[in-house]
Amino acid sequence: MEYTINIRGQLVDLGQPRVMGIINVTPDSFYDGSRCQSVDAIAARARQIAAEGAAIIDVGACSTRPGGELASEADEMARLRWALPVVRRAVHDAVISVDTFRPDVARMAVEELGADIINDVGSPAVSAVAMFRMVSRLRVPYILMSSQPTLREMLLTFAEQVQQLRDLGQKDIILDPGFGFGKTLEQNYAVMNRLEELLVMELPLLVGVSRKSMVSRLLGTSPAEALNGTTVLHTVALQKGASILRVHDVRAAVECCRLFGQLKIED
């Protein structure tokens, strides 16, 4: 399907799959290769993401890894106030997404720091409606993630939530099936196996499987050794209609998208 999203008044085409590169300004994200704890490290990572061909830079300031301790809202805000200007200076024309589940953090990131997209990882402790109201007021593209364990429950919940967002006036919505959130290993693969069924929503899909435990646990490796498995799942996701890959390894994902795109041309 052909999709576009509105970024600062410019339409961004998602007809060809795009890559979102990850920067974590946290000390405890599950994959240490994405952690950036200094101005120089953030700037270098942002430039690397752009140079390797990513369309979006996703900045997270509160780790949601299983078993981890959530940063306070104040700490999350402080990290973003420090990090986002560094990213913008390093890549002045970057499309910046902020990974958060807190409405007030979303407001600050967009209104004070110029973030372009809100990537909502969700939280049982935070009202989804509160975030829906916030992003509909901010008028930026919104990534809606599901922690539902099965595709059937996911579709039912997405249908209800998308209608709520539409009723509030939200225009650009991207769906994330939430691999690794609220799902067993087997449930993650069951959702991946039928991922194309989410296209019935007629909205772009973001897939985030990069170096996650659904890869490393199945293969008996570590996140540091999970790039090959990640690339295999990226290929499957593209075949099933993913529009955005959220990744740690930008170059590998961009190459995957280019090869997949060539196959589509030849077809």
Known catalytic residue at 212: yes
List 35, 246, 258, 264, catalytic entry: 246
Q: How large is the angle between the packed helices 103-111 and 128-138, nearest 10 degrees?
A: 10
Known catalytic residue at 251: no
List 212, 240, 251, 258, catalytic entry: 212
Indicate which residues carry an active-site annotation: 212, 246
